[in-house]
Structure 1
């Protein structure tokens, strides 16, 4: 059935514009940057307010299980409070009732988020008012138990996605720790299996990196071991879905952890795809690096993925260097320093162009060490890519299930949920 949100919500909490001048206390003060997943309970910046400040400023405190929705800035970010907390004016708080499952509402508003963004964009300053939310018409199943079942079903998928993310974070930390130990601290195993530098291994000064590296190691320009291909410097083609194969990677597809996120693909026509892949079509082991925006952000193309690259992205294809080792060099201090040296500081924005990328040096250890490292980390990388692919499939399934469950085209009984758990 269709109802107005004000018919099932007991309170719409709109925070004040004023920010506390003094922080301290035990009530978290949260911002949009603190939202990292479905639930919100802490301020990542450790900003808290006291009950005295709340009284003095007449602040509103969101009770537990309030649905937060960003009504300005990045409209459509949602979270459910798991502790009483305060926020700035970016959020509106929707306090539930016995007529609606707040987790069902969370999934529903996530699904229609793009529509709400369009509604806000008609104003000079995008903003969704309390009045907008009060009059917002939503679809809810006829009974609370059906809402509960829908929310529980989707929560099971989210729990699996969250577990995969945690495993991926641990795997990423493992590879970074090993890389740091071998190629930053230079305590890779020597011929006797002991840590090289700590055991007195000889170090020599390298003029390109302006620091010492192990004897018999060298540096070489990235152009000596890789093929570098710039993006097409043409007007961005129109979004046009013709086939699943024809899309261009955008900056948003490059995750901070180096994986590729294909939840939002920028599809183009076959003709545009062929034009934008005339220089290169990225595939397994290629590295993509951003030229502007998040300057120097990198990701590695996973196994069997084939796509084009959009604007402000450069493709690097490893040729005579181990691909996973090469990708991980971008997380090392040497490459980060070089990227900083070769980034152009413009009046309005910074950029890392292809000329700057071609000036980069990569450290080449002895072949045996490079190969040994590659053999250790490649299976870990493959596992991370598999988990990321699973998450994409689970996300697609979740997004497909929501309208089907909502319209009762598919039903889930409580006993079925218990069996799955």
Structure 2
């Protein structure tokens, strides 16, 4: 291990300031700019990216990102950093960020990005930041950071192992995103466009008794639409109206007293907060949050235990996060959770709430923070389809839910394995042996390695 100052292996640069780039320069289509909000642990968040024109890209070309760069938050969460992949090459970074460009002859950029994710390094970054109210970094502070690194060959070996785990996580996420797109398309096609499969020969929604040649999409094939006075719109003939309350029991939550340490634990009854859901963005399912409650805590706050398959919906700070419970859970007061009741199912209720979220958010109220109450939810009207269509939809989408749940579980195991290996590989407790090196510098694991079941 060698002690090295960052300036000896890398160059730090702050992004363009307001005088160089203003929000008024943003365009609808162009070159993306990553900001602090887009920095993720294993990659950039690609949602809600601002864009600049090709002319501004040329003007700001010294701020273009290259594969292997590492982008830090310059203000606020100064311990946040993200590795730039091939996908983000040619993008720009904002003035609230610092780019670190590693000299590849002296160090492995991928290894350094993992080094920056060490808990001890993150703590050090928070300690060296300046500013009483808002922590901040500058290039001088970055340049003088001291690192303790193995030689370049070991760096590349370690980075290859950790990258294999992250690549598998990314692949699983891509598969889940494609599955999600399929499930949403089916829901929209059936329940928004009203083109659910209809057996016109038998005059009923298609089921296992239908001849495929008689099955066509309802509305676009001439299915009768009728005016519904309650909903003030046309719906398929035979469909009705109801309220969100019809989907199942709407259950709130509460918080046991923080003054009693006997009420909270790390291994008890899962207890979810809106913060847990914000940390879970990108996933559909959730098993537990940062804290569990004990039986005493549950009893003291009169918490309701909700079953697997409950749809958890944050009702304040903010309104609208959704997740499906994998096991029995409780929540704090920031939720209005739906326990589905037949004919409504977890799959249907999840997408129904997603579809109606703009209406739910519009019904939120409050001066300090906006919140939607259970009584308000019970007054929101909804379309009620044929029960049989909900059944057929569930049969189609349930295998997608199962696959997504399994992949999310696998990702949690992969992340736990990566986080367990990370400090031991970095401080030399675990070494990568030469006999595991194969191909063009890629690392193969021994046959008995527990990593093989994930990355093979």
* Bin for the TM-score computed over the shorter chain: 0.7 to 0.9
Name the CA distance, whole Å, in 1 between partners of 2:125 and 2:381: 44
Name the CA distance, whole Å, in 2 between partners of 1:213 and 1:276: 47
Alignment of 1:382-393 (within 5 A): 382-393=402-413
Larger displacement relative to structure 2 (126-135 or 287-296)? 126-135
Residue 246 of structure 1: how far off its partner (Å): 4.0
Find the residue that maps to 1:92 and give its secondary structure: strand
Alignment of 1:349-360 (within 5 A): 349-360=369-380
Residue 41 of structure 1: how far off its partner (Å): 12
2:21 paired residue number = 20
| 2:393 corresponds to which of 359, 363, 373 | 373
Query: Within the alignment, does 1:343 sit opposite 2:358 as a pair?
Result: no
* Residues 1:69 and 1:115: Cα distance change in structure 2 (over 3 Å): same
Name the CA distance, whole Å, in 1 between partners of 2:44 and 2:281: 21
| 1:200 corresponds to which of 222, 225, 231 | 222
User: Structure 1, residues 338-362: CA drift from partner, whole Å, max 9, x if none?
Assistant: 3144221x33432212222222344
Find the residue that maps to 1:94 and give its secondary structure: strand
| 1:127 corresponds to which of 115, 118, 136 | 136
Residue 157 of structure 1: how far off its partner (Å): 0.6
* Residues 1:84 and 1:363: Cα distance change in structure 2 (over 3 Å): closer
Larger displacement relative to structure 2 (160-169 or 194-203)? 194-203
Residue 91 of structure 1: how far off its partner (Å): 1.4
User: Structure 1, residues 189-227: CA drift from partner, whole Å, max 9, x if none?
Assistant: 112311111222222223443322112222333334411
1:5–1:133 CA contact under 8 A, matched in 2:
no
* Structure 2 length-normalised TM: 0.79
1:111 paired residue number = 118
* Residues 1:121 and 1:10: Cα distance change in structure 2 (over 3 Å): closer
Larger displacement relative to structure 2 (68-77 or 238-247)? 238-247
* Residues 1:338 and 1:96: Cα distance change in structure 2 (over 3 Å): closer
* Residues 1:35 and 1:243: Cα distance change in structure 2 (over 3 Å): closer
Residue 162 of structure 1: how far off its partner (Å): 0.7
1:251 paired residue number = 274
2:449 paired residue number = none
* Residues 1:407 and 1:90: Cα distance change in structure 2 (over 3 Å): same
1:168 paired residue number = 176
User: Structure 1, residues 340-386: CA drift from partner, whole Å, max 9, x if none?
Assistant: 44221x33432212222222344332222111111111111111111
Name the CA distance, whole Å, in 1 between partners of 2:265 and 2:159: 34
Residue 53 of structure 1: how far off its partner (Å): 2.4
1:223 paired residue number = 245
Query: Within the alignment, does 1:314 sit opposite 2:336 as a pair?
Result: yes
Query: Within the alignment, does 1:77 sit opposite 2:99 as a pair?
Result: no
Name the CA distance, whole Å, in 1 between partners of 2:335 and 2:190: 30
1:68–1:81 CA contact under 8 A, matched in 2:
no
1:324–1:378 CA contact under 8 A, matched in 2:
yes
Name the CA distance, whole Å, in 2 between partners of 1:63 and 1:225: 49
Q: Could you list the runs of 5+ residues in structure 2 that have no partner in the other structure? A: 201-214, 446-451
1:72–1:91 CA contact under 8 A, matched in 2:
yes
Name the CA distance, whole Å, in 1 between partners of 2:31 and 2:189: 40
* Structure 1 length-normalised TM: 0.85
User: Structure 1, residues 379-408: CA drift from partner, whole Å, max 9, x if none?
Assistant: 111111111111111011100011121233
1:331 paired residue number = 354
2:444 paired residue number = 418
Name the CA distance, whole Å, in 2 between partners of 1:73 and 1:284: 37
| 1:45 corresponds to which of 50, 59, 63 | 50
2:318–2:370 CA contact under 8 A, matched in 1:
no
2:189 paired residue number = 181
> Cα RMSD between the aligned structures?
3.3
User: Structure 1, residues 312-345: CA drift from partner, whole Å, max 9, x if none?
Assistant: 112211122222112211122xx2353144221x
1:190 paired residue number = 198
Name the CA distance, whole Å, in 2 between partners of 1:330 and 1:145: 52
* Residues 1:61 and 1:365: Cα distance change in structure 2 (over 3 Å): closer
| 1:30 corresponds to which of 34, 40, 44 | 34
Query: Within the alignment, does 1:405 sit opposite 2:412 as a pair?
Result: no
1:296 paired residue number = 320
2:415 paired residue number = 395
1:138 paired residue number = 147
* Residues 1:370 and 1:10: Cα distance change in structure 2 (over 3 Å): closer
Query: Within the alignment, does 1:260 sit opposite 2:264 as a pair?
Result: no
Name the CA distance, whole Å, in 1 between partners of 2:143 and 2:231: 60
